[in-house]
Structure 1
Amino acid sequence: MDLLTALTWFSCLAFIFFGINCFYSKFIASEFMRYGLPKFRNLTGYLQLIGAVGLIVGLSFSPILLIISSLGLCLLMLAGFAVRIKIKDNFFKSSPSFGFAVLNLFIALKAFSIYF
C-alpha cells in the first residue's frame, strides 16, 4: 500500500467516525453548543460523510474527485480550527482540526502530483 492510499483510508475512516458522531454523540452536541453553532452540527456531519465517501470513490475511480474531496475536508477543518481559535481554545485543543486540514491538503497535493 502506498502513502497516498494509506493516508486516504485513514482520513476516510476518521471522517466516517466523526461524521456519524455528529448525529449521535451527546459530547459533540455539547461541543457545538459551546462553539455557538448548534445549527451546523448536522451539516458538518453530512459534509464529513460526503467528504469521506468522496475520498474513497476518488481514490478508486476519479483523481479529480479525490482532490476535490480532500480540499473540501481541508477547508472544513480549517473552518473548525478557526472556530476553536475564535472561542479561545488553546492550540493543543485546536490541533486535531489543524492536523486533519494539513493531512487532507497533503492528500490533495500528492494526488495532483501523481495524476496530473
Structure 2
Amino acid sequence: MTILKIAIFLSSSAFLYYGYECLTAQKMIDEFARFGLKNQRILTGYLQLLGGLGLILGYFLSSILVFVSAAGLTLLMFLGFGVRIKIKDSIAESLPSLILGLINLFIAINFCKQLTS
C-alpha cells in the first residue's frame, strides 16, 4: 500500500468519524460553543462527512473528486487550526487539525499532479 493510499484511508476514516461526532456528540456541541462557532457546527459536520465520502468514492471513481475533497478538507482544517490558535488552545489540542490539514494538502497536491499530467 502506498503512502498516498494510506493518507486517503486515514483522512477519510478520520473525517467520517469526526463529521458524525460533530453532528451528534455533546462534547462537540460544547467545543463549538467554546470556539464561539456554535452556529457553524452542523455545517462543519456535513462538510467533514462529505469530504470523507468524497475521498473514498473519488479514489474509486474520479480523481477530480479526490482533489476537490482533499482541497476542501485542507481549507477546513487550516481554518480550524487558526481558530484553536486564536482561542489560545495548547499545541497538543491544536496539532490534530494541523496534521489533518497537511495530510489533505499532500493528497490534493498529488491528485492535482495526476490531473495535470
Matched residue, 1:35: 35
Matched residue, 1:65: 65
Matched, 1:17 2:27: no
Q: CA deviation at 1:113?
A: 2.8
Matched residue, 1:107: 107
- Number of matched pairs: 116
1:70-81 paired onto structure 2 within 5 Å: 70-81=70-81
Deviates more, 1:11-20 or 1:1-10: 1-10
Matched residue, 1:44: 44
Root mean square deviation, CA, Å: 1.1
SS in 1 for 2:88: coil
CA deviations 1:44-65 (Å, max 9, x no partner) are 0000001011111111111111
Matched, 1:94 2:67: no
Q: CA deviation at 1:91?
A: 2.0
Q: CA deviation at 1:114?
A: 3.8
Q: Could you list the runs of 5+ residues in structure 2 that have no partner in the other structure?
A: none
Q: TM-score by structure 2 length?
A: 0.94
Q: TM-score by structure 1 length?
A: 0.94
Aligned equivalents of 2:81, 2:30: Cα separation in 1: 17
